[in-house]
Amino acid sequence: MTVTETLADRLRPRIDETFQFLTEFASGSYVHGEDDSWDPTMDASLLPQVRAAFERLLGELERAAGAGPADPADASGALVLEFYREIDGLNEQAGAIPVVEDEEMADLLDILKEALAEVGFGAVDVDKLPQWHEAGEEDS
């Protein structure tokens, strides 16, 4: 029996590297020797949930691309918005120090763009996808 490698499996090195960096960044381990007054800027306790949500998004996007929609951005836009809402919920759960802010989301979006290209999305399709802050705007 052949096991098919998923999109998340194929991007595992990038995902691992990004989440390792985010964990180290959140701990401040790379600045403690240089700056004793460093305060944490993100809550790493919920990073496993962020990673699970991101890998779930990749799986859902891969399935959506395999379904062959007429406009991949339409089919995937709702999935991306749901991911953003999940991250916003985790940020609310974290309280004063969020889990994901613009810089961290930019890192995840870089991987997402690579993933989308791998499943056949063109740059125009990627540009049509909702932006992170649009998730909250649609709820208002």
User: Tens digits of per-residue pLDDT, 16-35?
Assistant: 999 998 888 877 766 555 55
User: Tens digits of per-residue pLDDT, 55-97?
Assistant: 999 999 888 877 665 555 666 888 899 999 999 999 999 888 8
**Residue 97: inside a domain, yes or no?**
yes
- Smallest CA-to-CA distance from 118 within 54, 65, 53 is with 65
pTM to 2 decimal places: 0.82
Domain residues for the domain of 107 are 7-139
**Residue 2: inside a domain, yes or no?**
no
Domain total in the chain: 1
